[in-house]
Amino acid sequence: MSSAFDAVEVIRTKRDHEVLSDDAIRWVIDAYTKGGVADEQMAALLMAVLLNGMSAPELSTWTAAMIESGDRLDLSGVSRPTVDKHSTGGVGDKVSLILAPLVAACGAAVPQLSGRGLGHTGGTLDKLESIPGWRAHLSNEEIVRQLDEVGAVICAAGEGLAPADRKLYSLRDVTATVESIPLIAASIMSKKIAEGTASLVLDVKVGVGAFMKDRERAALLARTMVGLGGDHGVATMAMLTAMDAPLGRAAGNGLEVTESVEVLQGGGPADVVEVTVALAHEMLALAGITGEDPAARLRDGSAYAAYRAMITAQGGDPDAPMPVARVIEPIVAKRSGRISRMDALAVGVAAWRLGAGRARKEDSVSAAAGVVCLAKPGDEVEEGQPVFELHADRASVLDRASAALDGAIDITDGPVAPGPLVLERIGS
């Protein structure tokens, strides 16, 4: 098939607002993955896609070609129904750490292949690597065995899973084509479909601390991904959830593990519990599991037991103390009143500057660094009362982190009514 196509002709077709044939799409993805199409040619095609979009059939084939570029994990032998969740990322979003064992405690199997953080949003693997001994890399056989025995696994995606996405993702990052909704949808869904789950719930974050800041675009992304799931035999639904303020009180790797354990033990911040339980209900519905109450599984200890088993199965010590920052510095309220706004992006940038995140994929992260929100929107504070706590391994990073939080909160004299956390439900 390769002799029938030419990269320049494929680029020209999309540049001129024409529809790419299925064969042309499969050829260009395969040729680029194998090195037969140059980066500059694929960059031109990505820009044409960003500017001119893709039809639904084009996008479905593009996604299929990305899946076909590598392996597809076979979970057909797992004894429980499989269901996964993907979040588009936010600040303090530690939901995966709680949700996977919670849904496992309700009878499903959750195969969560996760990534690392980049910029102001934290990565699930970075958080779990704060736990001594825990390992992110498992073989396919280990994944299947753990799903059968424990019901939940959170691990790194193997190198053979959708390799086309890995190349395209890196290229989009340096060619100003990240924002394309078709390309975002194909990137997310190719990996999730390739991991072999039967059903999928998408948590699309919306707000200043999210990748998608506009609700209309977030809904379009959600609908696009739900459609792709259906095209490829994966029952998929999406929820839009708010990310204007951080989720929970902790933003930072080890800090978020500690907060996740609090939730799994029946406590923790109410907003984290609300979003987690809402997603769990949707996952169980897609998995065909009825009569289970996720909130009850948090209260009775069964979700925490599943978490301990998941961590232990991957070499981690669930009883090990979390790393503690060498330097902790408070930031205080400048006036008395009630917090009406807290900027999630500012908190995420502060945590990143403290060492919790990375600017480049090869950077290391601190397990102890991050920001603790001692008060949240709706809380009353007094002038001089600590509102944030900065956690760092060295004092030299405190000034820049503190600067990120200048103007991060508004304090008012009147009552404050926090907005809803779950904004919209899209899909089956």
* Domain of residue 360, residue span: 327-412
Same domain, 258 and 287: yes
How many C-beta atoms lie closer than 10 Å to residue 289's C-beta?
16
Residue 420 C-alpha from the chain's centroid: 20
Same domain, 344 and 314: no
Same domain, 92 and 133: yes
- Half-sphere CA count of 312, side-chain side, radius 13 A: 11
The answer to whether residue 423 is domain-embedded is: no
Q: Show the 3-state SS of 46-90.
A: HHHHHHHCCCHHHHHHHHHHHHHCCECCCCCCCCCCEEEEEECCC
Number of domains composing the chain:
3
Q: Among 305, 307, 313, which residue's Cα sits nearest to residue 142?
A: 313
What's the pLDDT score for residue 119? 64
Same domain, 222 and 108: yes
Q: Which residues are catalytic?
A: 86, 165, 172, 187, 191
What's the pLDDT score for residue 3? 59
154, exposed or middle or buried, with CB in 10 Å at 0-12, 13-18, 19+? Answer: buried
364, exposed or middle or buried, with CB in 10 Å at 0-12, 13-18, 19+? Answer: exposed
Q: Do residues 134 and 125 make contact, with C-beta atoms less than 8 angstroms apart?
A: no
Q: Do residues 376 and 245 make contact, with C-beta atoms less than 8 angstroms apart?
A: yes
Eight-state DSSP code of residue 395 = G
What is the C-alpha to C-alpha distance for residues 124 and 253, in angstroms, rounded to an integer? 8
Q: Which residues does 145 contact at the CB level (< 8 Å), separation at least 6?
A: none
Same domain, 341 and 300: no
Question: In 3-state terms, what secondary structure has residue 385?
Answer: coil
Same domain, 49 and 89: no
What is the C-alpha to C-alpha distance for residues 394 and 392, in angstroms, rounded to an integer? 5
Same domain, 345 and 314: no
Q: Do residues 119 and 234 make contact, with C-beta atoms less than 8 angstroms apart?
A: no
What's the pLDDT score for residue 418? 85
What's the pLDDT score for residue 118? 63
Q: Which residues does 403 contact at the CB level (< 8 Å), separation at least 6?
A: none
Same domain, 244 and 313: yes
Strands 337-342 and 83-87: unpaired
How many C-beta atoms lie closer than 10 Å to residue 56's C-beta?
12
The answer to whether residue 184 is domain-embedded is: no
Q: Residue 38 is which amino acid?
A: A
Same domain, 308 and 216: yes
Strands 152-156 and 409-412: unpaired
Which stretches of the chain score pLDDT less than 70?
A: 1-3, 118-119, 361, 428
What is the C-alpha to C-alpha distance for residues 144 and 161, in angstroms, rounded to an integer? 15
Rg for the chain, CA atoms, rounded: 22
Same domain, 152 and 218: yes
What is the sign, positive or negative, of the torsion defined by CA atoms of 287, 289, 290, 293? negative
What is the C-alpha to C-alpha distance for residues 172 and 47, in angstroms, rounded to an integer? 9
What is the C-alpha to C-alpha distance for residues 379 and 366, in angstroms, rounded to an integer? 30
The answer to whether residue 343 is domain-embedded is: yes
Same domain, 356 and 314: no
